[in-house]
Amino acid sequence: MNRIGIIAKKNKPEAAAIVRNLVEWLRPKKIKVYIEGEMGKLLSPALAGGYWEPIDRGEVPTGVEMIVVLGGDGTLLSVARQVWNRNIPILGVNLGGLGFLTEITLDELYPVLEKVLRDDFTINEREVLNAGVIRSGKRIAEFIVLNDAVINKGALARIIDLETTIDDEYLSTFRSDGLIISTPTGSTAYNLSAGGPIVYPSLHTIIITPICPHTLTIRPIIIPDDVKIRALLKSSNEEVTLTLDGQQGFSLEFEDVVEVRKAEGRILLIKSPYRHYFELLREKLKWGER
């Protein structure tokens, strides 16, 4: 491995020192390091004898063989949308709070990197979804998500109606505050808070979870990932937004269609050698505790 990108959460005071130490650690290994611009400005250009260079964040994935993400799950999600079709593994190091996706602790960073540089590591493949907005028969927007695509009403809007089909077969018209369409990776995010199931991340499924449904018999449903989901907004004069991974938003209009299907790419997460998925559930989500 000769080229590594580093992306760090900028509003973490300790991030600059961590990046600086990481660059120095990589220096004798003759690895070229690319650091996203804002963080790179905090480091001396003379550091590491030219073994690193600042680069625009959108360009970091170009040519690197791995990306180290220093931050929380939000930082990793933003990076994932850049590399979903590039087969670049991500090493997520938790500097945030929950850190369910960034499962490597700071204390584990260098031992794990040693293993990675010896090619002694395991990859978790995570599926991503393509979410498009169709208006008057034309696709006007398209997004990639690792966690979820969420259709939700505004704070003052009434319950909204979403006529939903699976592969053009009618499923239901959800009368609710909204609808979560989630990957297994996103099952422990908004989906879980809305009463949806925890789904093992390697399963090839999509979860549809209504948000506060008006009809109590409506419950979340898990479907195969090789289908096309379409949700038609049947409510007019309401403020409705499509939210992607909780980080991007798109305003919807009456009779817009949100179409979701599995994307062709995938996210490659470097797995912690020190804990498994069920341990993460217990540690991060306090799963099973009273």
Tens digits of residue pLDDT in 42-56? 666 555 456 777 788
Reduced to 3 states (helix: H, G, I; strand: E, B; else coil), residue 2 is: coil
Task: Report the percentage of the chain scoring pLDDT > 70.
Answer: 96
- Of 48-62, 161-175, 276-290, where does the model show the most confidence? 161-175
Q: Among all residues, which ones are annotated catalytic?
A: 73
Place of tokens 């979340």: 220
Give the residue with greater pLDDT, 288 vs 172: 172
Overall average pLDDT of the 234-238 stretch = 88
pLDDT tens column, 90-146: 999 998 777 788 889 999 999 999 999 999 999 999 999 999 999 999 999 999 999
Give pLDDT, residue 289. 80
**Long-range pairs of 248-256 with CB within 8 A, sequence gap ≥ 24:** 248/143, 250/133, 250/141, 250/143, 252/133, 252/151, 253/135, 255/135, 256/133, 256/134, 256/135, 256/232
Cα dist. 240→2, 155, 185, 257 in Å? 46, 9, 25, 12
Q: Does the 129-264 domain belong in CATH 1.10.540.10?
A: no
Q: Which CATH architecture has domain 3-122+271-284?
A: 3-Layer(aba) Sandwich (3.40)
CA–CA gap between residue 96 and residue 102 (Å, rounded) = 9
Confidence of residue 40 (pLDDT cuts 50, 70, 90): low
**Long-range pairs of 34-40 with CB within 8 A, sequence gap ≥ 24:** 34/3, 34/4, 34/5, 34/6, 34/60, 34/63, 34/64, 35/5, 35/6, 35/7, 35/8, 36/5, 36/6, 36/7, 36/8, 36/60, 38/10, 39/6, 39/7, 39/8, 39/10, 39/15
- Per the prediction, the chain carries an average pLDDT of 90
Query: Cβ distance 66 to 116 under 8 Å?
Result: yes
Among the listed ranges 35-44, 123-132, 197-206, 262-271, which one has the minimum average pLDDT value?
35-44
Prediction pTM value? 0.91
Query: Cβ distance 161 to 235 under 8 Å?
Result: yes
Range(s) within the chain of domains with CATH label 2.60.200.30:
129-264
Whether the per-residue pLDDT at 288 is higher than 60: the answer is yes
